[in-house]
Structure formats: C-alpha cells, structure tokens
Structure 1
Amino acid sequence: MTTEIDVDRLVVVMAEGARVIDVREPDEYAEAHVPGVELVPLGTVPDNVDRLAGHDGPLYVICRSGARSLRAAEYLEANGIEAISVAGGTMAWVERGLDYETGADS
C-alpha cells in the first residue's frame, strides 16, 4: 500500500530538500502549484520513470486532491521508486493558507 502524508508534513520534508512532482495537467498547474514542485503530468509518468528514479530518498507526488497522485505513486512504487502521495493535494495546500505560485514556470 502506498504511503500518504498531509500537507503539513510536506512542508517539513520540502524544507529538508525533498523532491516533489505535480501530476496534474499544465493548465491546472498554472492556476496554482506548490512552489518548487516539478510538473510531470500523470499521462507522462511512465515515460519519465528512469528520470524520476535518479534521486536519493522518496519521491513525493501531489495533484489536485490526492487521487491522481495516489495512482502515480502506486505506479512508481510498482516500478521500484519509493513514492509518497500527498493526501488532499494542492487544494489542501491552498486551503491551509500556505504560499503557492501561479503560471507555467516553477
């Protein structure tokens, strides 16, 4: 079973240098995203497995509400990458009052 964390824990692991990918579509990402996350749309995750594997520690995965990130994390886990989904996703991040960015560039 894939591990999940909440946005409060994500703040902590990001401060420690965790790598985070956002698996939403580019238009959703442009509306609001967690600062410093890398956009890797869900449909492109299989094509990026090798690139995503090249990192020490777990890979954190976020989406809008947590459903797509959970699917992506399960896929990554099945392909040998330690992946952790962010429960509640970007919506929870924004609702928590945490800083976020807009636009296509992270």
Structure 2
Amino acid sequence: MAREVELEAFAAAWADGALTVDVREPDEYAAGHVPGARPMPLRSVPARCGELPADRPVYVICASGNRSRTAADWMNSVGIDAYSVAGGTSAWARGGRPVTAGPVEHAA
C-alpha cells in the first residue's frame, strides 16, 4: 500500500522544491494543477518510471488521491521513494493554494 502524505506536509515539501508528479489526464492537468507538477498520466507511469529519480522523494498527486495511490504503489515497487498526496489537487485548491491552468508545461 502506498505511503500517503498529508497536504500540509506536501505543501512544505513543495515550497522547498519537491518533485511533484501529476497522474491525471492531460485535460484535467490543463484545467488546473499544482505549479511545477510534472504531468505523467496514470496509464503511462509503468513505462515512464525510469524518468524519475531514485535518490529523492517523489510526490504523486491526482484529483482526490485515488490514482496517485496506485501510481505511488507502482513507483515504490520499482525503487522510487514515492508518496501519494492525500486529498489531491482538489484539496490543494480548496485550501487556497496556488493552481496553474493551461496546457502541459514544458521544461526548458
């Protein structure tokens, strides 16, 4: 079972530059996501785990916490230190935290 991190702990880690992976679908991501979150739709996680570091925590977020638990379980099974964010993007936004809308952000 995936390890879960409470929203307050995630917010502190995010403020310190934590790697965040959003496993929602592209249209959900575009509608609003945690700033800086890397998009990786759930269906692509098994094939894309190699893109993630094994030497630091990865925070996995979705809409409410269900898909992120599944993704974090998979990541943990291949040696990634992954945590599912409790409450997901919905709770993040309800808490008044920043949300970025728009298409997938591309790293420079």
- What TM-score, normalized to structure 1? 0.93
Among all aligned residue pairs of Structure 1 and Structure 2, give the percentage whose two residues are the same amino acid: 46
- How far did 1:68 drift? 0.1
Q: Which amino acid aligns with 1:68?
A: R
* 5+ long unaligned stretches in structure 1: none
1:19 Cα offset (Å): 0.3
CA deviations on 1:24-70 (whole Å, 9 max, x unpaired) are: 00000011100010000000001111111x35311110000000000
Q: Secondary structure at the match of 1:49?
A: helix
CA distance in 1, matches of 2:16, 2:80: 19
Shift of 1:99: 1.1
Matches within 5 A, 1:1-106: 1-52=1-52, 54-106=53-105
Q: Which runs of 5+ in 2 are unaligned?
A: none
Between the two proteins, the alignment pairs up a number of residues equal to: 105
CA distance in 2 between partners of 1:62 and 1:89 (Å): 5
Equivalent position amino acid for 1:36 in 2: G
RMSD: 1.1
Alpha-carbon distance in structure 2 between the residues aligned to 1:46 and 1:90: 22
